[in-house]
């Protein structure tokens, strides 16, 4: 059956389209002023010294792993309850991901389990602000300092989120945002590294641009680099979208609150929990089903009725390629494994209407009450 309500959708208007058309008409499609404008706007918005535009969130995280010289023999603490990219960028450099379990409320890195898994080889923490809820930064940074660990923030799901009044992206050594069309703002494909560290920014700029030096000639390469640049069409769309971020975040919060309100009376579901000192930047709306309910059957029945829903996340340590590479198995991360069998992402985007939300919730009720 065709989907009546999309799982996610970008929020694009005429100003976005006009902005992209102008760049097309200018003829300057790469290495131009729009990427610089987007970087400046982003640095100002997050409240950091540097922003480096890249071709995707994954590309940005890969650059950060390289910049921090994480390599073979190094261990990196990372959640399994995340998108595969957080883990893949560690594997690209032949370092070892060490999976950490999650807090049962926010589904973010559990600082206690994190500290327990530190060894002599631990070099860094890849923290992930899952679903747009900041990790417990005070604790994570305290542990990082105590054991002298580097910290990368995979903030790809958390543009605009705040922890104790400070925007995510300011924490740790460096962070990276992503702009795939289901994120808070989109550039099509795209990402942005942010940091207060001059050296990290300088090397990141070189790595995304084939290893060229800042002042070097076009065919002079200082190091092994990549083509991870952001093009001008994406960048101008980013500028146009970032100007609307506050409206976007408010719309998303409104949709999330409507869902929570309508689900309040359903005892078999747990809406998302947001810590009181956090500003959530809603990326997806994920509920947790009561133990014993067949989540996958719920998804199937929803889809039959034209309403998409996803199991979100599926743990990375149980993915076929990770089992093969790292010999990981079921039982390693009890909370991650329990939660991930019961989580359900519902359709979520800026312009979901109250009627649509009502329809999703009623469909969900009807299915579960007849199971």
Ligand X SMILES: *Cc1c(COP(=O)(O)O)cnc(C)c1O
Sites of contact with ligand X (CB under 6 A): 56-58, 82-83, 85-86, 128, 154, 156-157, 178, 180, 191
Nearer to ligand X, 213 or 308 (CB): 308
Minimum distance from CB of 191 to ligand X (Å)? 5
Separation between Cα atoms, residue 168 and residue 161, nearest integer Å? 6
Min CB(365)–ligand X separation in Å: 29
Shortest distance in whole angstroms from residue 104 CB to ligand X = 19
In the complex, the smallest distance separating the C-beta of residue 355 from ligand X, rounded to whole angstroms, is 29
- Tokens at 305, concatenated: 């009725």
* Cα 132 from Cα 288, distance rounded (Å): 16
Alpha helices in 198-304 (DSSP H): 198-208, 232-242, 245-263, 295-304
Cβ count near 125 (within 10 Å):
27
Q: What are 151's strand-pairing partners?
A: 125
* Least distance from ligand X to the Cβ atom of residue 173, Å: 17
Antiparallel, parallel or unpaired: β 162-163 and 166-167: antiparallel
Q: Which is nearer to ligand X, 133 or 262 (CB)?
A: 133
Q: Which is nearer to ligand X, 159 or 239 (CB)?
A: 159
CB of residue 265 to ligand X, shortest distance in Å: 31
State how far the alpha carbon of 28 is from the alpha carbons of 37, 41, 356, in Å: 14, 20, 41
Residue 303 burial by Cβ neighbours in a 10 Å radius (0-12, 13-18, 19+): middle
- What are the start-end ranges of the H helices in the chain? 14-26, 33-46, 57-67, 85-92, 111-116, 137-146, 198-208, 232-242, 245-263, 295-304, 320-326, 334-340, 354-369
Identity of the residue, 56 or 363, whose beta carbon is nearer to ligand X in the bound complex = 56
Q: Return the residue nearest ligand X (CB atom).
A: 57
Q: Which residue number, 180 or 348, has a Cβ lying nearer to ligand X?
A: 180
Phi, psi of 338 (to 5 degrees): -65, -50
To which residue do tokens 């400046």 refer?
40
- Least separation in angstroms between residue 61's CB and ligand X is 6
């Amino acid at each position: 059956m065709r989907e009546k309500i999309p799982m996610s959708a970008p929020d694009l208007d005429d100003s976005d389209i006009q902005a992209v058309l102008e760049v097309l008409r200018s003829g300057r499609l790469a290495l131009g002023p729009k990427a610089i404008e987007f970087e400046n706007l982003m640095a100002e918005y997050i409240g950091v010294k540097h922003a480096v535009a890249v071709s995707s969130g994954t590309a940005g995280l890969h650059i950060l792993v390289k910049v921090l010289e994480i390599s073979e023999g190094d261990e990196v603490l990372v959640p399994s309850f995340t998108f595969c990219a957080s883990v893949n960028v560690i594997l690209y450099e032949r370092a070892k991901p060490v999976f950490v379990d999650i807090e049962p409320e926010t589904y973010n890195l559990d600082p206690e389990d994190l500290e327990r898994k530190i060894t002599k080889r631990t070099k860094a923490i890849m923290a992930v602000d899952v679903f747009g809820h900041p990790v417990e930064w005070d604790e994570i940074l305290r542990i990082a300092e105590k054991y002298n660990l580097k910290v990368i923030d995979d903030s790809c799901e958390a543009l605009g989120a705040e922890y104790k009044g400070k925007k995510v992206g300011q924490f740790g050594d460096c962070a990276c945002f992503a702009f795939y069309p289901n994120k808070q703002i989109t550039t099509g494909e795209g990402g942005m590294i942010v940091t207060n560290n001059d050296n990290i920014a300088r090397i990141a700029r070189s790595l995304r641009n084939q290893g060229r030096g800042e002042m070097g000639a076009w065919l002079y390469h200082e190091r092994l680099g990549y083509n991870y640049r952001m093009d001008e069409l994406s960048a101008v769309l980013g500028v146009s979208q970032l100007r609307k971020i506050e409206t976007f975040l408010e719309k998303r919060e409104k949709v999330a609150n409507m869902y929570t309100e309508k689900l309040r009376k359903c005892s078999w579901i747990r809406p998302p929990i947001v810590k009181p000192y956090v500003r959530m930047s809603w990326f997806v709306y994920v509920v947790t089903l009561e133990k014993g309910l067949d989540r996958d059957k719920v998804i199937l029945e929803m889809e039959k009725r034209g309403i998409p829903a996803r199991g979100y996340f599926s743990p990375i340590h149980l993915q076929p390629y990770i089992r093969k590479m790292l010999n990981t198995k079921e039982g390693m991360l009890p909370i991650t494994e329990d939660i991930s069998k019961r989580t359900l992402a519902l359709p979520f985007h800026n312009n979901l209407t109250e009627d649509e939300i009502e329809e999703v919730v009623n469909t969900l009720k009807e299915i579960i009450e007849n199971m």
